[in-house]
């Protein structure tokens, strides 16, 4: 089975509880399910290093020719803008913010 370390997300709520999910698609479901809880932090796996990084500071790529996780439109996060731009040159897609990626995930 393929590791989802490059798409995983971790949400930490103010009450100390956490939830790990496989993708931003599943994060959208998690946040909707826990609408009453206040989010303390959101982290996402960097596409290249697989390390968790701040989702809101990441450089997101939407689309491209790599299959997405749990959705038809891929959404990948990168810690560096140059890495995101390199991915776009090689595989397509467009640069986006976390809010844009989440909004698209919520619609799917």
What is the three-state SS of 9-29?
Answer: EEEEECCCCEEEECCHHHHHH
Residue 86 lies in a domain: yes
| Lowest-confidence pick of 30-39, 56-65, 67-76, 91-100 | 67-76
pTM: 0.91
The predicted structure's pLDDT at residue 5? 79
C-alpha separations of 77 from 38, 97, 101 in Å: 23, 9, 9
Pick the more confident residue, 96 or 69: 96
Range(s) of the domain holding residue 14: 9-107
Residue 3 lies in a domain: no
Residue for token pair 């038809």: 72
Residue 65 lies in a domain: yes
Residue 86 has pLDDT above 90, yes or no: yes
Residue 2 has pLDDT above 80, yes or no: no
The mean pLDDT value for 43-62 works out to 97
Residue 16 lies in a domain: yes
| Overall domain count for the chain | 1
Residue 4 lies in a domain: no
Residue 2 lies in a domain: no
């Amino acid at each position: 089975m393929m590791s989802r370390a490059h798409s995983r997300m971790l949400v930490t709520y103010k009450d100390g509880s956490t939830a790990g999910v496989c993708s931003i698609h599943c994060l959208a479901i998690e946040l909707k399910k826990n609408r009453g809880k206040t989010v303390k932090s959101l982290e996402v796996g960097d596409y290249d290093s697989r390390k968790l990084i701040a989702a809101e500071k990441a450089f997101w790529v939407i689309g491209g020719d790599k299959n997405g996780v749990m959705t038809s439109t891929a959404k990948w996060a990168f810690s560096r803008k140059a890495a995101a731009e390199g991915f776009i040159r090689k595989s397509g897609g467009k640069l986006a913010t976390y809010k844009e990626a989440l909004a698209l995930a919520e619609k799917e």
